[in-house]
Amino acid sequence: MSVDTNTVKRIASLARIAITDDEAGRLAPELGNILGWIEQLGEVDTSGVEPMTAVIPNHLRLRDDVVNADPLTGGGIRDALMTNAPQGEHGFFAVPKVIE
């Protein structure tokens, strides 16, 4: 499996990771090796096999349909949520301008 630097740059862009040309050049053979190694899965006959969706059989629970069913994961905790914000303003997360 060979991966070229353009592919690396496209993947990095999809993953929102900035990379330099040098890094893309270094990563191309590295990712190529890993992808080449995992391609051996192609030789397994999986016809008629359903992809696994749950490793241990479990049923999907639904929480009660009420506000704040669980206080820890519910609402009303704005200030706690904001304590780690790199830039918080007026109770909101601030980001660079996205609309000119």
Partner 1 sequence: MTELTDLGIAAIRDGVRDGTFSARDVATAFNEKVSAAKALNAFLVETPEHALAAADAADAARAAGKTLGPLAGVPIGMKDLFCTKDVATTASSHILEGFVPPYESTVSQNLWNAGAGMLGKLNMDQFAMGSSNETSFFGNVISPWRRNDGGHAPLAPGGSSGGSSSAVAARLCPGATGTDTGGSIRQPAAFTGISGIKPTYGRCSRWGTIAFASSLDQAGPMARDVTDCAIMLGAMAGFDPKDATSLDLDVPAWDRELSSDLKGKRVGIPKEYRVDGMPQEIEALWQQGVDWLRDAGAEIVEVSLPHTKYALPAYYIIAPAEASSNLARYDGVRYGLRDLPDGANLQDMYAATRADGFGDEVKRRIMIGTYVLSAGFYDAYYTQAQKVRALIARDFDRAWEACDLLLAPTAPSAAFALGEKSADPIAMYLNDVFTVPSSLAGLPAMSVPGGLDAQGLPLGLQIIGRALDEQGVLDAGLAIEERAGFTARPEAWW
In the complex, the residues that contact partner 1 under the rule CB under 8 A are 8, 11-19, 27, 30-31, 33-35, 37-42, 44, 46, 49-56, 58, 60-61, 63, 70, 72-73, 77, 80-81, 83-87, 93, 95-98
- Amino acid letter for position 46: T
The smaller minimum CB distance to partner 1, of residues 67 and 98, is found at 98
Please give the Cα distance from 93 to 85 (Å, whole number): 7
| Residues 6 or more apart whose Cβ sits within 8 Å of residue 82 | 88, 91, 93
Closest approach of Cβ 39 to partner 1, in Å? 8
CB of 90: closest distance to partner 1 in angstroms? Answer: 15
